[in-house]
């Protein structure tokens, strides 16, 4: 079948590799079921489009550096009553990303901050957005090294480009002066341009200590919180679920309060 080969080659040359690959089976199906010409073309092109969507999603998932894939379907909201499920479901529509707003998840260890951040990131990837996930320590190591080696300009792109940047685990270690300034620059560079999801085990009132510089912390929070959804999670660690069931309460007292210093969700 010279003609068939010619058409297959043409599809390939036009960049429709999947259509070229599945042409035979689509022709077969059309012959067996006597579908219309329109239906035939529709099926062939939908196959190509589906294939591309999946490939693009896989590529974006790889580039996102997500540590693992978690979804809201795996999240047990009944375990964490301080979380407003409706608010999280609304965030999962990703309209905050389209409005260049931030999401800040606060709470003690194990309450699901990373889980929710990852779930929103996975949803964003599904919706065709580019995402980059990094934890704070790694982000600052990377920026400090790039700064020292004079290639900060190139590295910025990694953190500026994605439609959604997730910075996990802010607050586990103190920031020195250089790190604090680099973080400030990053926050400024995304301010009103690109969304971020941040997670922290430190309340906003502790960010001054964390950065060793209250005015700098204030300037950072001022920008972060200008258009932000704050999710303040109070509760028990999911990791300790079985122990809690057995009647042990291990959350320190200071973790059960408000970490937002009165910042109200927008």
By CB under 5 A, name the binding residues for Mg ion: 114
Give the nearer residue to ligand ADP in terms of CB position, either 34 or 73.
Answer: 73
CA-based nearest residue to 96, from 232, 237, 181, 195: 195
Give the nearer residue to ligand ADP in terms of CB position, either 128 or 257.
Answer: 257
Say if CB 194 and CB 164 are below 8 A apart.
Answer: yes
With contacts defined by CB under 6 A, name the span among 32-40, 109-117, 145-153, 244-252 that binds ligand ADP.
109-117
Q: Does 76 bind ligand ADP (CB under 6 A)?
A: yes
203 binds, among Mg ion, ligand ADP, none (CB under 5 to 8 A by kind): none
Give the nearer residue to ligand ADP in terms of CB position, either 103 or 111.
Answer: 111
Residue 132: other Cβ atoms inside 10 A:
21
Instruction: Identify the residue whose tokens are 């590799």.
Output: 17
Q: How far is the CB of 204 from ligand ADP (least distance, A)?
A: 17
Residue 240: other Cβ atoms inside 10 A:
16
Give the nearer residue to Mg ion in terms of CB position, either 170 or 175.
Answer: 170
Residues between 173 and 202 with contacts to ligand ADP, criterion CB under 6 A:
199
For residue 5, CA distances in Å to 14, 244, 248 come to 14, 66, 71
CB contact burial 185-223 (16+ within 10 A = b; e otherwise):
ebbeebbeebbbbbbbbebbeebeebbebeebbeebbeb
With contacts defined by CB under 6 A, name the span among 3-11, 69-77, 132-140, 210-218 that binds ligand ADP.
69-77
Say if CB 150 and CB 185 are below 8 A apart.
Answer: no
Q: Does 243 bind ligand ADP (CB under 6 A)?
A: no
Judged by the rule CB under 6 A, the positions of this chain that interact with ligand ADP are 70, 74-76, 79-80, 107, 109-115, 199, 238-239
């Amino acid at each position: 079948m010279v003609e068939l080969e010619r058409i297959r080659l043409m599809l390939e040359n036009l960049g429709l590799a999947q259509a070229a690959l599945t042409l035979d089976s689509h022709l077969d199906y059309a012959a067996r079921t006597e579908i219309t010409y329109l239906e035939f073309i529709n099926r062939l092109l939908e196959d190509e489009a589906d294939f591309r969507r999946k490939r693009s999603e896989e590529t974006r998932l790889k580039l996102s550096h997500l540590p693992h894939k978690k979804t809201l379907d795996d999240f047990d909201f009944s375990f964490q009553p301080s979380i407003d499920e409706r608010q999280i479901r609304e965030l999962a529509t990703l309209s905050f990303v389209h409005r260049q707003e931030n999401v800040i998840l606060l709470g003690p260890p194990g309450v699901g901050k990373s889980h929710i951040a990852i779930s929103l990131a996975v949803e964003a990837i599904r919706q065709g957005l580019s995402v980059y996930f990094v934890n704070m320590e790694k982000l600052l190591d990377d920026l400090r090294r790039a700064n020292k080696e004079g290639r900060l300009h190139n590295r910025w792109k990694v953190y500026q480009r994605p439609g959604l940047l997730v910075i996990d685990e802010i607050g586990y270690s103190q920031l020195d002066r250089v790190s604090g300034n680099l973080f400030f620059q990053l926050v400024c560079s995304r301010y009103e341009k690109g969304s971020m999801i941040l997670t922290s085990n430190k309340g906003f009132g502790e960010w001054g200590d964390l950065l060793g510089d209250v005015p700098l912390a204030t300037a950072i929070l001022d920008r972060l919180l200008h258009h932000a959804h704050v999710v303040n999670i109070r509760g028990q660690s999911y990791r300790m679920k079985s122990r809690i069931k057995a009647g042990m309460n291990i959350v320190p007292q200071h973790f059960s309060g408000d970490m937002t210093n009165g910042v109200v969700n927008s």
